[in-house]
Amino acid sequence: MKYLKYSIDPRKEKNVPINWEKIFEKKGELYVEIGFGGGEYMAEMAKKNPEANFIGFETSLTACDRAQKKFYNYNLNNVKIINHDARFCIRELFADNTISKIIVNFPCPWPKKKHESRRIFVEKFRKTLSSVLMINGSMELATDVEWYAKEVYENFKLDDHFEVEEIVENFNRPIKTRYEKKWEEDNRNKYLVKIKKIKNGNENRIILEENDMPHRHIKDINIEKITELLNKKFQFENETFVIREIFESKIKERYVLKVFTSDDDFTQDFFVNIVKREEEWLIKLEQITTPYRTPAVKYAINKIAEEIEVK
C-alpha cells in the first residue's frame, strides 16, 4: 500500500543515531511530535513548513495507519513516523543538539501511581531532552489536565538546563488536534507549557553498533542443555534475559528460542536461532523479530552460546 511509505523501522537501521538528512534526502530543521494520534497536527505543520523535516512517534498501530493516509493525501515528503515508544526512540535515534522542537499534544496523564512509569514526562525523559534538543530548541506540551501541566512546569523549572514560560490557559493555536476539539466541545480548560533548552545535558545511549552484535560459531552443542535453560533468569549488571519458549525444527537441525531481555526498564521479546551449518553450529538473531541491538541482547547471544557449547 502506497501510503505506508512514511513508516520507518529503526531496528533495521545499521547506524544510530539515525542520519536524518539521508532518510529525508534533504537538510532541514528536525521537528518531532510524540503521540500524533490521527496526525492532524503533524500534517498541517509539515504542509506549512516544507523546508523542515518532521518525525512522529506513536505507539498505536491504528493511529499510524490513519495518519499515514492523511500524509499521503496531503502529498507530504517531509514526514516520517515510527511506531514505537517515543521516550526510548528519541534518546536512541537522535544525536545531541539536533532537534529544533518537540510537540506533545494531549497525552494521557496516567494519573494512577501504578501507571506512573507510562507518563511521557518522567525524569529520565527530561534528561533526554537536555541532550537532544538544540540550544534554544523548544518543547511544547498541550494538555487538558491542570495538575499535569503544573507538574511538568515545576519539574522543568527546577532543572537548570531549561527555561520555562508561564503556563498559558485556553491558548489558541492555528491548528487543533482531534483531542483538542473533543475537549473544547466538552468545555474543558486547556493548558500550554513551553520550555526552551539553555544548557547541554549528557545522556547515555544503549543501542550498540551493528558490528558489535556477534553471531557465535561453536563446534558442537549439548542439546539437553538447551532445555535446561528454559525459564532460568540470567543477569549481568543491568541486563537480564529469560528463555520463554523453545521450538525444535522437524526438518533440519535447528532450534528457535523465544527470548525476553531487559536493559534496565527497556524490555524486548525476540527469537534466537541455533542452527547447524556444515561442521559447526551458529547462534544468531532470527531476522523476523529484529530487536534493538542492546547490551542485554548481546549478553543473551553470548551466554546461550557459552551454556550450550560442548567444551
Ligand X SMILES: C[S@@+](CC[C@H](N)C(=O)[O-])C[C@H]1O[C@@H](n2cnc3c(N)ncnc32)[C@H](O)[C@@H]1O
Site track 113-152 with ligand X (rule: CB under 6 A), x = hit = -------x--------------------------------
Per rule CB under 6 A, count of chain residues that contact ligand X: 21
Strands 254-263, 239-248: pairing kind: antiparallel
237 contact partners, CB below 8 Å, separation of at least 6: none
Number of helical (H) and strand (E) elements in the chain, helices listed first: 9, 14
Stretch near ligand X under the rule CB under 6 A, chosen from 102-110, 164-172, 282-290, 301-309: 102-110
User: What is the separation, in whole angstroms, between the first and last Cα of the chain?
Assistant: 51
Of 11, 150, 178, 258, the one binding ligand X (CB under 6 A) is 178
Of 68, 105, 131, 143, the one binding ligand X (CB under 6 A) is 105
Chain residues 11-70 in contact with ligand X, contact rule CB under 6 A: 34-37, 57-60, 63
Nearest approach in angstroms of CB 243 to ligand X is: 28
Strands 99-105, 133-143: pairing kind: parallel
Of 68, 98, 128, 177, the one binding ligand X (CB under 6 A) is 177
Nearest approach in angstroms of CB 170 to ligand X is: 16
Stretch near ligand X under the rule CB under 6 A, chosen from 82-90, 160-168, 215-223, 232-240: 82-90
C-alpha triplet 80, 90, 201: angle, nearest 5°: 140
Of 86, 149, 229, 285, the one binding ligand X (CB under 6 A) is 86
User: How far is Cα 19 from Cα 56, in angstroms, rounded to an integer?
Assistant: 16
For residue 309, state whether it binds ligand X (rule: CB under 6 A).
Answer: no
Helix (H) or strand (E) holding 248: strand 239-248
Q: Which residue is nearest to ligand X (CB)?
A: 35
* Helix extents (H) in the chain: 20-24, 40-48, 61-73, 86-93, 123-132, 146-157, 178-185, 223-228, 295-308
**Cα Rg, the chain, nearest whole Å:** 22
262 contacts 296 by C-beta, under 8 angstroms: yes
For residue 257, state whether it binds ligand X (rule: CB under 6 A).
Answer: no
Q: Give 108 or 168: the residue with its C-beta nearer to ligand X.
A: 108
For residue 179, state whether it binds ligand X (rule: CB under 6 A).
Answer: yes
User: How far is Cα 290 from Cα 300, in angstroms, rounded to an integer?
Assistant: 14
Q: Give 48 or 215: the residue with its C-beta nearer to ligand X.
A: 48
Residues at the contact surface with ligand X, assessed by CB under 6 A: 34-37, 57-60, 63, 85-87, 105-108, 120, 177-180
